[in-house]
Structure 1
Amino acid sequence: MVDYNGRMGSVYVAGRGIPATEVRRWAAEFAKHLPERRPLDVLDLGSGTGRLTPGLAEEFQGKVYGVEPSDRMRAAAEPHSGVSYLKGSAEEIPLPEASVDAVLMFLTFHHWTDPVQGLREVRRVLRPGGVALLRTQFADLMPDLFWYEYFPSAREVDARMYLTLAATKELAVEAGLVPDDDVVRISAEEQRTLRERYERLSHRALSTFEHLPADEMDRGFARFAADAERDPDRPMPVYDATTLVLTRPS
């Protein structure tokens, strides 16, 4: 488990913040898989510091709820007139049954203590016909991230952190949700230079770094910093974001 009330909470905005232009692109991509009507009421489950939450309010024009267990993360969340930030978790969502049209789970699923119960709660708060977007990694569809070369055990650490696509679908079905056959691959992230990637990752705000040996991280970041100094403007790859679309049956 990662303590988002501790060190991770203090570096999260610097290491994981999303620029406004990128937030708009994410929201527009999410909209392609949701009903066209407006307004839509949306739950951002595991909203953290509200990286995407205000953008959901702008895009979907309805009530938006950011549910987050970490007090520190909620305190740092970006305010918006259309957003209510609430203390809660996936396993215990503080909303009534059938209260939202859509649920976004953005890189939070691997933190849940009880995935089936969490998905049951997602089904409960969705209105019939509502859609949940599960943005996560899958152990059998892991991207070949460029920075793995600096941290030899990071690839294995990440693969252990996530379920396979098939296992994730099985849990969704058990919880009463209907998964699409295939994952959606979203391209919304901005391209960044090697220096920009180093500066973001150097905050160690990814869950991966909570599980790596300290000496491996020290050596890796030293090499990473040297490469960023030599070739700061080299454009780095942009990776598709795997997302599973889940529907509550009507």
Structure 2
Amino acid sequence: MRSIDYDTEQHQDYARGRALTQQQLQVWIGAFAEALPERRPLAGLDVGSGTGRFTPALAGAFGPVVGVEPSDRMREVAQTRSPHPGVRYLPGTAEEMPVPSDSADYALLGWSWHHVQDKPRAVRELARVLRTGGRLLLRTNFSDHHPRPWWLEYFRRGYEADAAIFQPLHEVIALFTSAGWRVTGFGTVTESSAGTRGEMLARLRLRTLSFFAQLSPDELQTGFDRLEQAVAADPDAPAPEFAEPLLTLELC
């Protein structure tokens, strides 16, 4: 996977390109609530918090949250776009977080695990910052459990190139369980429609998905030409729902 420098490439458009509807956000918060302990408040970490898509909602639902994000520009956007009294944004990575040991009840890695460079080190760091019994919400795709969004078929090598970004499920599970974690849940969360196909196309044009960085300029141009033609036939049709994986682990 080609790495992405969010300070130079995507920070300006990321919030718009990856925007969630209020209904989509509530679906995910509900799924996270089912995977977490019932007591409140819970101290949380949003690891790879980006522009704060989830961080304020996590704080509102569960308690204070620290957003850990390596990109200075992404943190700037988060702090100005979605301030919340229960949120702090700090520079850091999954491999090195500027928070005390045993200080969090849960951590969310939402759409960020594929960016982690040293995964074994990140597993150890997550074990350091979470309390015993702490939960990890790992929202990522897996090469063998791929949600296959509707628009991907219009790009040559679309499914292949996107799946190659991610690890297979068994590999991720083995990495954590060999380090003293246990799986507490795995399933899919059905994300409601993101609006019309035309609205979705407008966000895709911003190219804020890691997938787009893996294709050549010719592949991108051809894919978008095909997608634009398909959407033009009925731009007001609702974008389909689709189910995305969520793996939950507990620190033993």
Q: Which amino acid aligns with 2:152?
A: Y
Q: Which residue of 2 aligns with 1:70?
A: 71
1:218 to 206, 221, 236: 221
1:116 aligns with 2:104: no
Structure 1 position 110, deviation (Å): 0.5
Query: Offset of 1:209 from its aligned partner?
Result: 0.4
**Mapped pair 1:167 → 2:171:** yes
Q: Which blocks of at least 5 consecutive residues in structure 1 are unaligned?
A: none
Distance in 2, matches of 1:42 and 1:222, equals 42
- Is the contact made by 1:117 and 1:175 (CA closer than 8 Å) also made in structure 2? no
Moved more, 86-95 or 20-29: 20-29
Q: How does 1:80-119 map to 2 (within 5 A)?
A: 80-119=84-123
The residue matched to 1:183 in structure 2 has which SS? strand
* Alpha-carbon distance in structure 1 between the residues aligned to 2:49 and 2:34: 21
Aligned match of 1:178 = 182
Q: Which amino acid aligns with 2:114?
A: H
Q: 2:244 aligns with which of 235, 241, 245?
A: 241
* 1:148 Cα offset (Å): 2.0
Residue 141 of structure 2 corresponds to residue 137 of structure 1: yes
How many angstroms does 1:14 deviate by?
Answer: 1.4
TM (normalized to structure 1)?
Answer: 0.94
Distance in 2, matches of 1:143 and 1:23, equals: 18
Q: Pairwise CA RMSD of aligned residues? A: 1.4
Segment drifting more, 23-32 vs 82-91: 23-32
Q: 1:32 aligns with which of 34, 40, 54?
A: 34
CA displacement 1:209-245 (0-9 Å, x = unmatched): 0010111111221222222222112223211120111
Asked if structure 1 preserves the Cα contact closer than 8 Å seen for 2:107 and 2:130, the reply is: yes
In the alignment, the residues of structure 2 paired with residue 166 and residue 160 of structure 1 have an alpha-carbon distance, to the nearest angstrom, of: 15
Over the matched positions of the two proteins, sequence identity in percent amounts to: 43
Q: Offset at 1:40?
A: 0.6
Count of paired positions:
247
CA distance in 1, matches of 2:190, 2:38: 20
1:19 aligns with 2:21: yes
Q: Name the amino acid aligned to 1:95.
A: V
Matches of 2:173 and 2:47, distance apart in 1: 19
- Asked whether the 8 Å contact 1:116–1:174 carries over to 2, the reply is no
Q: Which moved more, 1:40-49 or 1:184-193?
A: 184-193
One-letter code aligned to 2:233: R
Q: Say if 1:28 and 1:59, in contact at 8 Å, map to a contact too.
A: no
Please give the alpha-carbon distance, in whole angstroms, between the structure 1 residues aligned to 2:212 and 2:191.
24
Cα separation, 1, equivalents of 2:211 and 2:132 = 36
| Alpha carbons 1:43, 1:104 under 8 Å: kept | yes
Match of 1:152 in 2: 156
> Quick check: 1:97–1:124 contact (8 Å CA) kept in 2?
yes
Shift of 1:21: 3.6
Structure-2-length-normalised TM-score:
0.94
Runs (4 or more) in structure 1 with deviation over 4 Å come to none
